[in-house]
Amino acid sequence: MKHLIAPSILAADFGNLQSEINMVNNSEADWFHLDVMDGVFVPNISFGIPVIKSIQEVAKKTLDVHLMIIDPDRYINTFKEVGANILTVHFEACNHLHRTIHAIKQEGMKAGVALNPHTPVNVLSDILEDLDLVCIMSVNPGFGGQKFIEKTYHKIIQLKKIREESNSNFLIEIDGGVNTENASKLINAGADVLVAGNSVFKSNNPTETIKKLKNI
């Protein structure tokens, strides 16, 4: 499978959000990555339901919604209603992860789990066969534009090996500090989906940057 590119809308120009969405629609990007932060689980507040609903009305590609919030179970149905196709929750935020994953799937969405940089990949060993996606955070969550954590490569290799051994078929997504310099190494390590924020939206030519990331 060719790797997928998911521009992170958190890095977009919110004063021109519709044109930013259309840029992604018309680019070689595969998904929209939408970070929802509550200011509690992570030290930042991003955007919520009304903004995602507005994005969904314009977006023509998969909405990959990443919940960096406590108690995500309360909002599963709401995110389905505003158009989420993939819903990712944090391992560190879920007391009953198995139940949460199945609740997401019962709503007809694909289910993902994100791991903070300090969380080892083997914590998911008992649930991997239920997952559609595992998101490895390659920066500490909460803010865009952070430096990539080098240990991420080792975690990707570990997770790919576990996937092969368990006959699972989840996608491995990398979120944080992804750019045209490290994308090739990430893909070679086993990444399937690259989330790119500042490296796309702060570049001189975002469409061209997406094309470069897609064709590495």
* β-sheet bridge partners, residue 216: none
Query: Rounded to whole angstroms, how far apart are CA atoms 56 and 102?
Result: 24
Termini Cα distance of the chain: 13
Q: How far apart are CA 215 and CA 211, in angstroms?
A: 6
Catalytic residue among 38, 64, 132, 175: 175
- CA–CA distance, 116 with 17 (Å, rounded to integer): 28
The C-alpha atoms of residue 103 and residue 148 are separated, in whole angstroms, by 32
Q: Are 150 and 186 in contact (CB under 8 A)?
A: no
Which residues are bridge partners to 196 per DSSP?
A: 7
Please say if 175 is a catalytic residue: yes
Query: Cβ atoms within 10 A of the Cβ of 202, count?
Result: 14
**Catalytic one among 30, 35, 38, 192?**
35
- Strand arrangement, sheet containing 110-115: 4-7, 193-196, 171-175, 133-137, 110-115, 86-90, 62-68, 31-37
The two structure tokens encoding residue 190: 């086993």
Catalytic positions, written as ranges: 35, 175
